[in-house]
Chain A
Amino acid sequence: MPEQQEISLSILKKRWLKFKTLKRGYYSFVLLVILYILSWFLPLLVNNRALVLSYEDEMYFPIISGYYAGSEFGQDVPGETIYRELQATWESENSENWVIMPIYPYSPFEDITVAGNKMYDPPSNTHWLGTDNTGRDVFARLCYAFNISISFALVLTILNYIIGVIIGGSMGYFGGRFDLFFQRIIEIWSSLPMLFVIIIISSIIRPSFFLLIFIYTIVNWIGMTYLMRAEFYREKSKDYVAAALSMGQTNFKVMFKHILPNAMVPIITFFPFAIVGGISALVSLDYLGFGMPPPTPSWGQMLDVGLQNITKAWMVFAPISALFSTLIMVVFIGEAVREAFDPKVYSRLR
C-alpha cells in the first residue's frame, strides 16, 4: 500500500488547507493575526516613555518602572520627564547619557498639558496622522483602539459562543420541557430593545471594558442558541449518538465529544461576522458616548470628535479608514471560511 494513503486528514484539516488556497481571505487572516499580536506589544512600540535610559552611568527602564520626575534626570519640567526632549537635548550636547525611545514616541493619552503638543496639528513627520482636539496623537490612539476593538469583539464572541453552545446545545439535546422553557425565555429576552437597555445602564454606571462585555453578552448569547439547538437536535437522532450512549458514554461527553465536532460549521462560519458585529457594536456605543470611559482610545470616540471638527480631514479619515480596512479584512476571512466549508469545489463567488 502506498505510503501516502496511510495518512488521512480530518475534515477540518482539509478545510484549513482549502482556506489557505483562498489568498484574499488567508492573507487578511495572517495580516490581522500579526497586527493583533503586535498590538499587545504596543506599549513597547508606541509610547512616550523611554525603553532604556542611561543617566550618569546608571540604567533606567521607565517603560517598566513607570513614573520618573523630570528633575531626576536634570530636566526642568513640572511633573514627568519628557523623554523625547531629553533625547534631543542629550544628543545635541553630545553627552554621555543616552535614551532609547520606542519606534513611535507618542502616547495615546499625552495631550496639550505636555509642552510641545498642539491641538489640531495636521499630519507631519512627528505626528503621522496629526493630533486631535486635545492635542493627542491620532496615530497612537488608532493603534491602541485597534487592540481594544479586536479584544472586545473576540472576548464578546467567545463568551457568547460558550453560553450559546451550552444552552442551545442542551436545548436541542435534552429537548422536552427544558427546551420549551428556554425557548420562551429567549423569546421574551430577545424582544427587549437592547440598545436602549445598554444606553440606560451605561448612563447610570460608568462602563468599563468588562462591564460592556458583560452587558453585550447578556444580550447577544441568544444568536448562537438558535443555531446550536437546531444542530444538536438534528445530530442527536443519528445512530452514532445512539452508539455512543449504548456503550455507556455520559450525556456531557456525548454532547461535547461526539455532537459538537459535528456542529462546528455554524460556529466557525459565523465567527468572522460575529467579530464584525462586536467591533461595530463597540464603535457605535463609543460614538454615542455610552461606551468606554473618555480617555480610553476608541474608534467610535475618534469618529465622534472627527465629525465635530469635520474640516480637519485627518481626524475623520483616520478612524474611518482603520475601521473600514479592519472590517473588510474580517469579511474577507469570513468569505474564505464560507468557501472553505463549501462541499462544492467549483462554486465560487470570486
Chain B
Amino acid sequence: MSKNTLVDVKNLSVHFPVHGGIFSKRVATVKAVDGINFSIDRKQIVGMVGESGCGKTTVGRAMINILRHVAPDVEIGGSIEYHFGDEVVDFARLSSSEVRKYRSRVQMIFQDPYASLNPRMTVAQIISEPLQLHTNMTNKEQTERVGWLLDKVGLQPEQARRYPHEFSGGQRQRVGIARALATNPDLIICDEPVSALDVSIQAQVINLMMDLQDEFDVSYLFIAHDLSVVEHISDKIAVMYLGDMAEYGNAQDVYHQPRHPYSKALLSAVPLPDPSRKNRKRIVLEGDVPTPLNKPSGCAFRTRCPIAQPACAESKPEFKEQAKDHFVACPIVE
C-alpha cells in the first residue's frame, strides 16, 4: 500500500439475506459481492467492468455507505478504508450517522439522470444542498459557487433557476456532476454515468469528466459495462464476474494483455473501428450467468469457462499478483 492510497478495499463482501416462509426464516443469501480486493490512489481513475448483475453497482454503493438505506439487513464484510489526510476511516463499519461527517469527501454520480435529480427542486437548490450541509457558506457565496460549478460543467449560470425536467439527459448528467463536485470530494463514484446517454453525448460527458478530474484533483471509481469507454478513461481496470474480481491491473495491461479467460471473452466482444483487426478471434461464452443465490463451487466462472478443468470446482482461485500490479483470479493462466 503506497502513501498515495485514497481507499483500500480489502476482502469486501456484501450479502443480502433472502427471507421466506411463514416465519420469515432466512432461506438463502444473495452474494452480490463476495470478497474483493482493490485500491484507488489519489487522482486515479479506476474503471470497473462486468456484466449486468455482477455486483459493480453494489460495490459502488457499499463504498459510499448507502446500502443499508434500501436493505437494512444487508451484511457487509471486510473493510473499505479511506485515508483522509491522517485519518483512516472504515466505511464498511461506520453507522449512517457516524459516516455523515465524511460524506463530503466521497460523492456519487448516478446512472439515470432522470431519477437522480429531485424533480421538485431547481438546479440551484440541487447543487447547493451539499454546500448547505458541509460548508458555512452564506446564500450569496452558495449562489456564486453554483454559478461557477455550472460554468465548469458547461452549463450557463442563468439556468440555475430551472427545474430538471427542462434539461436534456446530457445536461442533467452535467448537473449531477456539478452536484458531486460541489464539496471538492476526494473520490467520486460514477455508477455508469454515461450508459443512459446517446453515444455522441457520452463522448462529451466523458471528456468533461476527464477535464474536471484534472482540475479538481479527484479520483474516480468509474463503473461501466463498456470496456472501450473504461479503457479510454481509466488508469486501472477491475473486471468483475458474479461478485468476484476476475482481474485487476493497469488499464493498458488489462486491455491489451488480458489474462483471465473472462476478461479475454469480454474484450473480444468490444466492437473495434479498426479494419486491420477484423480477423481477431471472437470468444463466445456459452450459457447464462449463474444466479448469485447459488453460485458454482470453486471458481464462479468455471461453468462458462473455455479452459475450465475439474480442479476449478474444488476451491476458489486465489486472487494473485501474476505480473507487477496485475492481479488475476485464475491459476491456470499463470
Interface residues of A (CB under 8 A from B): 1, 6-8, 10-11, 174-176, 236-250, 258, 261-262
Contact = CB atoms under 8 A, between A and B. Distances in A.
B133 A249 contact: yes
Given A245-B66, A248-B103, A239 B119 contact: no
Contact of A7 (B133, B156, B161): B161
Contact of A239 (B100, B101, B115, B158): B115
A4 to B, nearest CB: 12
B129 interface: yes
A247 B166 contact: no
B236 interface: no
A237 to B, nearest CB: 6
Given A11-B163, A240-B116, A258-B118, A247 B107 contact: yes
B108 interface: yes
B130 interface: yes
A261 B121 CA distance: 9
Contacts of B133: 247-249
Contacts of B72: 174-176
Given A8-B161, A10-B163, A242 B108 contact: yes
B219 to A, nearest CB: 16
A234 B110 CA distance: 18
B166 A239 contact: no
A247 B64 CA distance: 9
A134 to B, nearest CB: 54
B179 A243 contact: yes
A239 B196 CA distance: 14
B129 A247 contact: yes
Residue among A8, A174, A176 having the largest count of chain B Cβ atoms under 10 Å: A8
Interface string B217-251: 00000000000000000000000000000000000
B208 to A, nearest CB: 19
B122 interface: yes
Contacts of B176: 243
Contact of A243 (B110, B119, B122, B162): B110
Contact of B69 (A1, A245, A258): A245
Contacts of B162: 8
B263 interface: no
Nearest to B67: A242
A244 B163 contact: no
A185 B150 CA distance: 49
Contacts of A237: 70
Contacts of A246: 64, 66, 103, 106-108
Given A11-B163, A248-B133, A240 B64 contact: no
B117 interface: yes
Contacts of B96: 245
A261 B104 CA distance: 25
Contacts of A6: 158, 161
Given A10-B163, A239-B112, A244-B129, 17 more contacts: A8-B162, A176-B72, A236-B70, A238-B115, A239-B116, A241-B69, A242-B70, A242-B108, A243-B108, A243-B116, A243-B117, A244-B118, A246-B64, A246-B108, A247-B129, A248-B133, A248-B134
B277 interface: no
A249 B119 CA distance: 17
A8 B166 contact: yes
A239 B189 CA distance: 14
Contacts of A262: 118-120
